[in-house]
Structure formats: C-alpha cells, structure tokens
Structure 1
C-alpha cells in the first residue's frame, strides 16, 4: 500500500513542528509550556494527530481516505514494533522511552479517526462520546503521561480534559466541519432546539441556533472546568501543556459567546498575543 505523499526532511523534529505547531497556533503556545526535554516528543504526538486528522477530513474521496488510513494503521503498528518509516513515526520512536507501551493509544487514536470515514452525523451524545473519547480522551492521556509524575494513573483524569477540548473544538469548527459534510452535534440535540443540518450547512443564523450553541458552549465549558479541577494536586505542575490548552479553549469559548456564536461563516480565534499570555499564565498558575 502506498505511503501518503509527504516531504521527508532530514530533521524529523522540524517536520513535526511544521505539521503540528506552526508559530502563532494554539498548539505552538501550549507545547512551549512543556519541559524543554519533553517538547520534541509532545510535538511529535501532536503531529501524529494532525496527520490522522488530515487523512480523513481533508480527503474528498472516502476510498482514498480509507487507503491512507489503512497505511497509517500499518505504520503505527510498525512504530510500536520499532520499525518506523514516516518522519512523525521516527520522531516518536526517537523521543518516547517506551513506544511499545503506547501501542494501545495508537490503535485507539487511529480507530477514532476511522469513525470519520464511517459516519458524519451522530444520533445522540452517547454515540458522539465514543468518538470523543478515542480522538480526544486517549490523545490527552498520552500527552499527560509524557510529563506526569505517575504516568500509570494519568488516563483516570486526563481523558476528561481531552474530551472537553474536543467539545470546544466542535463549537469553534462547526462551520468549517459542515462545509465538509460533518456535523459533530447530536441529531437529537438539533431536533430539541429546532435547528436542521441544512440550516447549519447553509450558514443560517437565528435565535434557535444561538440557543443550541449556548448549550453546546456551556457543556464544553463545564466539562473543561470540571476536568481541570480534577487534575491531582501532585500533577498540576507537570501538566503545563494540557492546562495551557484548556485555558485557551475556555477563553475562546467566551470569545465565541461574545460574538453571538457566529461560527458558521468564519472561524473565530484568539490573537497570537492573547494565546501567548493565556498559555503562559495558565501553565504557571497554582
């Protein structure tokens, strides 16, 4: 099976940084809060997630998407076995002390993105949660383990952070996702608020849409706040990247709400200087 077309630089870390955390992005500022020694590994994790996301979301032909994802399934298995071939895989192998131990996370992450090839709508929140936990929660667990004092216990509290970050991303990216035919808002919740998928795709605003988005925003905010409070006191200082991500996501949700949820025709984002300040402050808050 052919490998996805990617430039193969001599510096794997540089490739990962360009893929996952270009200057000015939220990931860029979140990763800069991590201990210097762990930044290359964390950046490689972010790059892997971005590769998988592009594989399924930026491909208009589902057949091509499945072909590429099948390649990544083989590549992540080869990575866990110590035989990487892709730049991101090489970076992960070089910077992870025990990449074989992360094999379950790799499988879960790929399986999560595979769901994007199988469905573009979710009947209810319980079904959507399966996707969120694989793509968001499992990934956050890997980020947490990279710097945690007790990596074995990280999944117990980090997964909720990843889930909350995904919910916030759904709010921010609703318009862009809809243009690709994906709506990560449960069908029963659309019906509850009297909003149709066609209205979202056609960028139609209204009071019903505002109330729907207020509910989505509040759920994302409450999930993030509860998850942040659930970080053990002994781990708060070790989780600067996740805490920075959480703070930026909360600030963004506030910004979106102030703009009356005008997310269908534009992607509302924080300015780089705000991201820098929020991430720096959150990472150092006790």
Structure 2
C-alpha cells in the first residue's frame, strides 16, 4: 500500500486525542491509522456539522457514492482515493463500511433508542467500526478485535455523555427510554433540563458504570496492535473522570482536556 496519507492532518491535528493516539504508534503504521481516522471523522461528523437534515443527507449520499467511485478508481477526495488500498492491504471487502454509513444516516434524523441494547448496537457499528479498523491495521488477533469493539463501545458512551447537552439542544437524545423511565424522567425533562436531582443522579450513575466498564476492559487489553485504541480509551477515561465530577453541569458545557493531559494519558500506554 502507498502510505502517502499525511500525519498529522486536519482530522488528527497536533493536540487532539487522535494525534496522540497515533503519534505513539510505530512510524510505519501512522499514515494508515491517520487515513482510517480521517475517513471515520469526515463521515461521522456530518450529522453535527450540518444543521439542516436535508443537507446532511445529501452530504452523506455524496460520501456513499464517493466510496463506490473509489473502488472504480474514480474518487476525487484524497481520503476516498486511498481507501481501497487500505481495504486491500487488510483483506477487507468493499462493503466494509456499509453498516457504519447506515448508522450515521440514522443519526441525521434519530429517534430515541428504546434500551441500552440499541445504544450498544449503534456503538459497535460507529465507534466500534473505527476501533476495529485501527486494530486491524496493527495486525490484531481475533481476541484483540473483540477487545477493540468493547473499547469502541466505551468510547462511544463517553462521547454520548460528554455531548449530551449539545445533542439535547439540537433535538437529539441518545439516552434510552428505559433509562429515563428508571429515574422517573421523560424526554421533555431532558430537553428542558428539568428535574435537576433525578438528572444529576442519572448522569453520575452512568459515569460510574462507565468507569467500572473501562476497568474491566483495560484489565484484559494490551498495547501492541490495540495501541491507538488503548490510548484513545485512556484519554477518554481521564475525560470521564471530569464528567463524573460535573454531574448535571455537563449539560451546560462541553468539557475538554488540555493537550498536556491527553499527552500524558497516551504516553502511559505508548
């Protein structure tokens, strides 16, 4: 494969979580890891970047066709042009991203998931798509691919928690109905940021459950092929600690880590 994709690039700039996750990987892998992250982020960010669902649908449709064109050697976008080489080097089929694309389409006009099983399935086809691809690039075994999926789900759940306030303000909600009912809440309570004590309890309990999940997964994960995924998860675990302390306040702000904190979290798993 022609490892010509730049690193860092606009999707893994210096100071970002993706930069540090990839930077501590072997030099020979960085270009392909950056390419995988670029493909994922270019598509995954469409529902957030496009306020108009019609525009988002049009942009996603363009990416679908661009990936199809890439397999015919007709793609225009540099990420799409290099994508077939990546798939070929890993022995993956042309439809590898189909489930991922379908899940992103759901996010453009989402409905509230019924339960955590639905959220988990969504996580496996979105963030899990990326973590599995990164691990394949590193030569991961089947066991490591399973761990990568678990870490991908963890990353997704932390992302949902961190972005909950932003998503609610744009009429999106990824907290399942069963969880809302367990705390005596309804979608209107979340969208209106009402019933403070119940919301605060739900958010703190969710953060605690995610911290426990991370400890269990990290106990069986090793760096090697999982390197960039382990580092992304380590950074997310530090972020989760901040979110856990904030409780309901996280609904009114968008918490981020400084580049220095990201660096140290990733460095410990280099």
Q: TM-score when scaled to structure 1?
A: 0.84
What's the counterpart of residue 271 of structure 1?
258
What's the counterpart of residue 123 of structure 1?
114
Instruction: Tell whether 2:22 aligns with 1:56.
Output: no
Q: Which of 44, 47, 51 is equivalent to 2:35?
A: 44
Instruction: Tell whether 2:206 aligns with 1:206.
Output: no
Which 5+ residue runs of structure 2 have no aligned equivalent?
Answer: none
Secondary structure at the aligned position of 2:104 is classed as helix
Q: 1:99 and 1:138 mapped to 2: Cα distance?
A: 14
1:242: how far off? 0.9
Secondary structure at the aligned position of 1:254 is classed as helix
Q: Kindly tell me: are residues 281 and 59 of structure 1, through their superposed partners in 2, closer, same or farther at Cα, counting changes over 3 Å?
A: same
The answer to which of 96-105 and 160-169 deviates more is 96-105
1:102: how far off? 5.0
Secondary structure at the aligned position of 1:259 is classed as helix
- Residues 30 and 242 of structure 1 are in contact (CA less than 8 Å); yes or no, is this contact kept in structure 2? yes
What's the counterpart of residue 6 of structure 2?
13
Instruction: Tell whether 2:70 aligns with 1:79.
Output: yes
Instruction: Tell whether 2:19 aligns with 1:28.
Output: yes
Name the Cα RMSD after superposition.
2.4
CA deviations 1:177-227 (Å, max 9, x no partner) are: 112211111011012112333333334472211211122212322333333
What's the counterpart of residue 220 of structure 2?
230
Q: Kindly tell me: are residues 99 and 66 of structure 1, through their superposed partners in 2, closer, same or farther at Cα, counting changes over 3 Å?
A: farther
1:104: how far off? 3.9
Instruction: Tell whether 2:98 aligns with 1:107.
Output: yes
Secondary structure at the aligned position of 1:101 is classed as coil
- Residues 5 and 32 of structure 2 are in contact (CA less than 8 Å); yes or no, is this contact kept in structure 1? no
Which structure has the higher relative contact order (CA within 8 Å, separation 6+)?
A: 2
Which 5+ residue runs of structure 1 have no aligned equivalent?
Answer: 1-10
What's the counterpart of residue 182 of structure 1?
172
Instruction: Tell whether 2:178 aligns with 1:191.
Output: no
The answer to which of 112-121 and 129-138 deviates more is 112-121
Q: Kindly tell me: are residues 99 and 64 of structure 1, through their superposed partners in 2, closer, same or farther at Cα, counting changes over 3 Å?
A: farther
Q: Which of 52, 75, 79 is equivalent to 1:88?
A: 79
